Structure formats: structure tokens, C-alpha cells
Copies of this chain bind each other. A is one copy, B any other.
Amino acid sequence: MSKKPWNVGVIGCGFMGRAHSNAYRKAANFFDLPMQPVLQACCARTATDAAAFAERWGYASFETDWRRLVERKDIDAIDICTPNDTHREIALAAAAAGKAILCEKPLARDAAEGAVMVEAVERAKVANTVWYNYRRIPAVTLAKQLIDQGRLGKVFHYRAQFLQDWTISAELPQGGTGLWRLDKAVAGSGVTGDLLAHCIDTAMWLNGGIDTVTAMTETFVKERKHNLTGKVEKVTIDDACAFLARFQNGSLGLFESTRYARGHKALYTFEINGEHASIRWDLHDLHRLEWFDHKDESVVRGWRSIHVTDREMPYMSRWWVPGLQIGYEHSFVHQVADFVDGLAAGKATAPTFRDAQHTQHVCDAVLKSAGDRQWATVKRG
């Protein structure tokens, strides 16, 4: 290998551990990177799991104690793929050890935790990013470019939703492996931190900051068996959350997320209406962007369905040929490629911990508003 290696240590070998491992393995096949990502070590709680994961993905080694991994000299970057309640502690240790940090979203369970993390990485001056991966789906990146070119004019409306249906059954337990997203102590919140956080991250990237919100939340199934205690316990996460928002640019926002929308698996959509043009996107058909431009001649004016696969589309010159889709996993590959490019260039790769902290503040305001039944003002910084 002629390139300088970039040694990654991944903590957490679940769903996100797989998605990130795949991204590290593929990035240099498709992108011309200044350094070669190397799967140096993975970490799981048991040696059996860690060894199996290392074998499957080709990690050079494994650990069962994340603190040991963080301390290893042969590791350049720590990737945090563990449940939300561990993000802070790992990030603080990794920052102290001078490692670059890639942290799964949401940054933390709440803004208080997030603030400590931001402070730690900035003081340690380590490169840092949060895996709000949807920014790097080509159609979403294209939306950003079109907006930045000023094609929309004044923006009037932003709406987003993230709809799932996997927790409708009251038989589903809460807590434990694969189900910690239903356990507030671990997750911090329900759909707000898990799903709306994505919507908010994209929204503020595309449309700027949010000033105020009014929200409602609901927990449809009030009690579920807890997998760790074996007892039926009160459910304390939000099953569904909707909120109205006012953006700093004067536009109105409408956000909704739920895990009780029968028929939708991971339907993340957004739509932006501007003075001149409008944009829509839908994760269920992530390779398309819908575009309406009022400047089109009136008799042929209509919503365009852009099949975002041509070579001039963001990231797409690195993949196949026009007409051939990439999928979900490629958003992670793009984030690895951008992060490694950023490292080599000495530039931060958005979203940084600080960027992600803005989303934490919105989430906190949303949950506060839902609790108070009052409009809430989003904290800055």
C-alpha cells in the first residue's frame, strides 16, 4: 500500500458498526483519498462478538474494553457506534487521547451532555464529526447546492417528516440489544433524538437556524415489558412527536416523526417552498430529487423527477453510469471520503460536534415545549 494508512478503531459492532465498517472498506476503492482507511481494531463487549466481527470485516485486531482501544497508539480515529448513553464518556476519553472522533448521531442524549462533548473536542483540537449521513445522499447534497445558488429565492416553508411503523405492536419489549431505542435512560428520548434529529440536522443545513417551536409528543403504548428487568414497565420515550417552527429566515417549519405510521418503514421526506422554486425528497426513493421551477415556461412547467445518477451529480462520478442507483450505505462512504479529505487538508468536516449541538438544542426545546404545552425558544451555541 503506497498511501499513508489512517487507522480506525470502531467501538460498537451492531447495525452502525456494520454500516461504518463497510464505508471504511469501500471509500478508497471509489474515491482518491489522501490516506488509506485501515480497519485497525473493533470493540464489542464480548470477545466472541468482537472476534467474529473482526473476522467478517477484516479488522486487524479487536478489543472488549473500549478504554483500551482509545489508549492504543496505533489508532488514529475513534468511531463511536454504541448506544447514546455512552457517547459522552467515550468521546471525552478519545479527545483526551488526541484521537479524531466520528460519533454516531445523535451527538448525545441531550444538550447538556452535548455541551461537554463539544467543549472537549474543541479544547483537545481533535477532528470530529457526527454521522448525520443523510446530508451526503447525492440528491440531498444536490438540494443543498441548488439552495446555495439562490435558486429558491425567499423561502416560505420547510416541512419534514420521518415516519416508521415498527413499534405498533404492544408485544414489542423495551430495552436491551436492538431495542435500547425504546429505553429513555439509554436513548435520551424516542423519535425526537432518533429520527427528528436527522430532520432537524438537514433542515438547519438547508434552511438555517430555528428560533422557536411548539410541539406535542405522545406515547401510544404506555407500558412494555423491559428486556433487562423482565418486568412490565412504563414507557417513557416519545413514540411520536410533531412540532411547528419558525426559522431565522422567516420561513415556517412543520416537523413530524412517529414509529406508528403504518406502511412507512423509513419514510424521511422534506419539502422546501421558495419564492421561485421548490424541492422535495424522500428516503424511500433516495436517488431522486423532485424539483419545481416557476421560471420554466408555463406550458411545460411541472415537478421534475431528477434521477440523481448522472456524473455531474454530487459524488456520482465515482460510482457507476447514469441510470444506475446507489443506496443507503453509500452516504456513509461519502462521509468517510469527505472526512479523510478534510483531515488531510486540515479542515473540519461538517457536521462537527458543534454543528450537531445545534440540533441537540432544538431537540431539547421541542421536548420542553411538549412538556410545557408552550412555545419554546431554541438555545444558541
Q: Which residues of A contact B (CB under 8 A)?
A: 1-2, 15, 19, 21-22, 25-26, 28-29, 55-57, 142, 145-146, 156-157, 159, 163-166, 168, 214-216, 218, 220, 240, 242-244, 246, 250, 252, 254, 256, 258, 260-267, 273-278, 283-289, 291-294, 296, 298-307, 309-310, 312-313, 319-330, 373-375
Contacts and interface: CB of A to CB of B under 8 A. Distances in A.
Nearest to A57: B29
Contact of A327 (B218, B252, B298, B330): B330
A81 B301 CA distance: 32
Contact of A326 (B252, B264, B328): B328
Given A156-B240, A252-B242, A266 B321 contact: yes
Contacts of A329: 319-320, 326
Given A244-B216, A252-B216, A263 B29 contact: no
Given A216-B214, A258-B156, A260-B273, A302 B309 contact: no
Given A156-B220, A301-B306, A306-B301, A267 B214 contact: no
B307 A305 contact: no
Nearest to A329: B320
Contact of A218 (B252, B277, B319, B373): B252
Contacts of A263: 273, 277-278, 292, 294, 303
A261 B278 contact: yes
A285 to B, nearest CB: 6
Nearest to A56: B29
Q: How many copies of this chain does the complex contain?
A: 4
Nearest to A286: B325
B310 A300 contact: no
A285 B285 contact: yes
Given A159-B256, A260-B156, A291 B286 contact: no
B302 A306 contact: yes
Nearest to A214: B214
A142 B329 CA distance: 22
A279 to B, nearest CB: 9
B240 A1 contact: no
Contacts of A244: 214-216, 242-244
A114 to B, nearest CB: 26
B312 A306 contact: no
> Which of A146, A156, A166, A275: most chain B CB closer than 10 A?
A156
A323 B22 CA distance: 19
B157 A258 contact: yes
> Which of A142, A261, A283: most chain B CB closer than 10 A?
A261
A320 B324 contact: no
Contact of A310 (B26, B168, B265, B274): B265
Contacts of A375: 373
